[in-house]
Amino acid sequence: MTDDDKVAAEAALLRAQLNKHNYAYYVKDNPSIPDIEYDRLLKRLNIIESDNPKLKQADSPTQRVGGKALKEFKTISHHTPMLSLDNAFSNEELIDFNNRILDRIKAKDEISYVCEPKLDGVAVSLLYEDGVLVRGGTRGDGKDGEDITENVRTIYSVPLKLKVKKPPILLEVRGEIYLPKKGFEKINYQAKLNDGKLFVNPRNAAAGSLRQLDSKITASRPLEMSIYSLGRIEGYPTPDTHMETLELLKEWGFLVNSNSILVKGIKSCANYYQKILNLRNSLPYEIDGIVYKVNDLNYQERLGSIAKSPRWAIARKFPAEEEITELEAVDFQVGRTGSITPVAKLKAVFVGGVTVSNASLHNQDEVKRLNIRIGDHLIVRRAGDVIPQIVKIIPERRPKITKEIIFPKRCPECDSSLVQIEGEAAIRCPSGLFCSAQMKQAIKHFASRKAMDIDGLGEKLVDQLVSEGLIASIVDLYRLNVDQISNLERMGKKSANNLLDALEKSKKTTLPRFLYSLGIREVGDATSLSLASYFKSLDAIQAAKLEDLEGVPDIGPIVAGFINSFFSQEENLKIIKELIHFGINWPDLLADKNRDLPLSNQIWVLTGGMDEIGRAEAKEKLQLLGARVSGSVSSKTNFIVAGAGAGSKLKRAKELSVEIIDESSLLSLLEEYGLF
């Protein structure tokens, strides 16, 4: 053996020893050697790698100290969306959640749930290829996040290499990065000694640490990461249950919360909640509730998700923190649909880790219910994570002089006379897009991801464009030019061209997205899809009578009235005509509107990962073609689209001789109808 071979062998042995000791210390919480001995081993490996740069590896323990500072974070796309959770604030809401699940899966007996403490940190996704960490990303908007790989590498509870001989080809896991209470106290103590900025709470500190462009700063913070779910796996059998998944991930070297347990029935979930609530203050980390997840992964698939939340999981929040403050004034804001919302301006108060100075009073009925006046002392609660709520006033502390809250008669933005529809609590401005406040909200909605998906057209840029008089309606977006945009603050020619490219790209859309983008009251993305599938063309929707609209599944008389009213207004029809004139288009799925859609009466199933198109987008487009997209395979299934890493559903499809196609064939089908 040559000297080089000996050095390489020593380096490999040191890496294996140090990784083993890291796992024992940071994941198992059971150190196997004294710190001084660990430091000696790490120092020796550092010397070897410094003298022999070729021996440096991505999974080396020496790579956890942080590297060269970045100029900015890059954007990454998640293989599968990172969904957020719906919340329950009472046992009744938890029982309702359980009943909905039992009803959907037609279960007669109680089912099993995994109960996990809801860590108060930052949701992060980790990507491994052939067992080696290649990427870490924040949740972001669920679809796209920030690339924080260099910062994630510095966290010792994140394995740089999986503890398995034959790892999956690809593995994506999700978890929470947080700062333990002791670590939080330590960095705030050091900041105080150096006259530095103090962090408000551990979550704030964790988020701030992960957003450091200099990973050496992140490395100096004692962050931890606990894994709570599997995002995607390829080249390895998928476990049958969530608990088996957690056990597998634990075997591979991930930290999984030791208080996570498997229970049967919703009563056991409630008991677990009370147990952890009693332990909350003694835990070494901050938690703000409990997460309950259906254990059976087949059930999870069948239950699916809605909007941004899975149907198979819920967060049971701990009681919200409350404080006493004063109502100093009330402002009135105009929403997208013209509703006038009273906003309480509070004497700033610290509640639940944040300073609260505003809270919504919702409408006149809420003001009357609270019997609230300007000058009152009141109890404010930070419900959930971020939404401040006024619970009640404190009558015995009412000052002698207070002011009644008087709702305006005219719009605070455009001075139009306000109206109130009989039976509604809200007062509204009827001016629609003529009202500047409604116009801004309408443009933001039009550009949103589920609507026209105009990348880069955020809230601040919309405010700038309207304030500068460059746009006065959604149509004006397509009249913008490079010079107009590049002259705005913080916008150069490159940014301007990017926005124009995004606007051009948005012109190719689908009918449901276009309908949703118009901002018709009470018409969300699901209702837009129902309208498009039922009428099949914009012309037919515009010509529909009230009774025709009420015939659409899931549309009642009230929503039908809103749709009919919208398409009865000449100004709205003019805007639609102008948008189409500027090139907005969507595939015309049928030349003969009396015929069925191409995939009518067909049942499709999607399984496995897809590279070119997301599962949610594929589902939407199959539904546009008339298919019913199911979460489970049966003898009635017509087609199954099998992506990378497809498991039990693909196996079941083969057993039932269901026709199987791959992602490429699906894309060819969608392309045939102009949907890709």
Q: Which of 53 and 277 is assigned the larger pLDDT?
A: 277
Q: Which of 191 and 342 is assigned the larger pLDDT?
A: 342
- Residue 529 one-letter amino acid: L
For residue 594, the model assigns a pLDDT of 54
pLDDT tens digits for 332-355? 998 877 889 999 999 998 876 678
**What number is the average pLDDT over the span 545-571?**
86
Q: What domains lie within the chain, and their CATH numbers?
A: 3-65 (1.10.287.610), 111-295 (3.30.470.30), 432-506 (1.10.150.20), 511-581 (1.10.150.20), 603-672 (3.40.50.10190)
Nearest-angstrom CA–CA distance, 418 and 427: 7
Residue 519 has pLDDT above 70, yes or no: yes
* Tokens, residue 8: 């390489």
* Residue 498 DSSP SS3: helix
**What number is the average pLDDT over the span 466-490?**
89
Q: Per-residue b/e over 145-181, b at no fewer than 16 CB within 10 Å? A: bbbbbbbbbbbbbbbbbbbeeebbebbbbbbbbbbbe
Residue 592 has pLDDT above 60, yes or no: no
Residue 383 has pLDDT above 60, yes or no: no
Tell me the β-bridge partners of 59: none
Lowest mean pLDDT of 31-45, 369-383, 504-518, 635-649, name the range: 31-45
**What number is the average pLDDT over the span 81-89?**
85
Residue 385 has pLDDT above 90, yes or no: no
Q: Which of 194 and 384 is assigned the larger pLDDT?
A: 194
For residue 591, the model assigns a pLDDT of 45
Helices and strands (H and E) in the chain: how many: 24, 22
**What number is the average pLDDT over the span 624-649?**
83
For residue 39, the model assigns a pLDDT of 67
Query: What's the pLDDT band for 64 if we cut at 50, 70, 90?
Result: low
pLDDT tens digits for 442-477? 899 999 888 898 988 988 899 889 888 898 889 999
Query: What's the pLDDT band for 384 if we cut at 50, 70, 90?
Result: very low
Lowest mean pLDDT of 94-103, 205-214, 385-394, name the range: 385-394
For residue 30, the model assigns a pLDDT of 65
pLDDT tens digits for 294-314? 999 999 988 888 767 899 999
Q: Which of 252 and 7 is assigned the larger pLDDT?
A: 252
For residue 307, the model assigns a pLDDT of 64
**What number is the average pLDDT over the span 307-324?**
83
Residue 576 has pLDDT above 80, yes or no: yes
Residue 382 has pLDDT above 80, yes or no: no
Burial class (CB in 10 A: 0-12, 13-18, 19+), 291: buried
Are the beta carbons of 173 and 125 closer than 8 angstroms?
A: yes
Residue 514 has pLDDT above 80, yes or no: yes
User: Within 10 A of 419 (CB to CB), how many other CB atoms are there?
Assistant: 12
Question: Which residues are marked as active site?
Answer: 118
The whole-model pTM stands at 0.54
Residue 660 has pLDDT above 80, yes or no: yes
Residue 386 has pLDDT above 60, yes or no: no
Among left, alpha and beta (phi > 0; psi -120 to 50; other), residue 195 is left
Lowest mean pLDDT of 28-32, 357-361, 375-379, 495-499, name the range: 28-32
Q: Which of 60 and 540 is assigned the larger pLDDT?
A: 540
Of 452, 475, 471, 451, which Cα lies nearest the Cα of 461? Answer: 471
Residue 172 has pLDDT above 90, yes or no: yes
For residue 69, the model assigns a pLDDT of 57
Q: Share the mean pLDDT of the chain.
A: 85
Lowest mean pLDDT of 93-102, 424-433, 511-520, name the range: 424-433
661: Cα within 13 Å, side-chain hemisphere:
14
Chain length of the chain: 676
Residue 615 has pLDDT above 80, yes or no: no
Q: Which of 646 and 379 is assigned the larger pLDDT?
A: 379
Tell me the β-bridge partners of 291: 116, 315
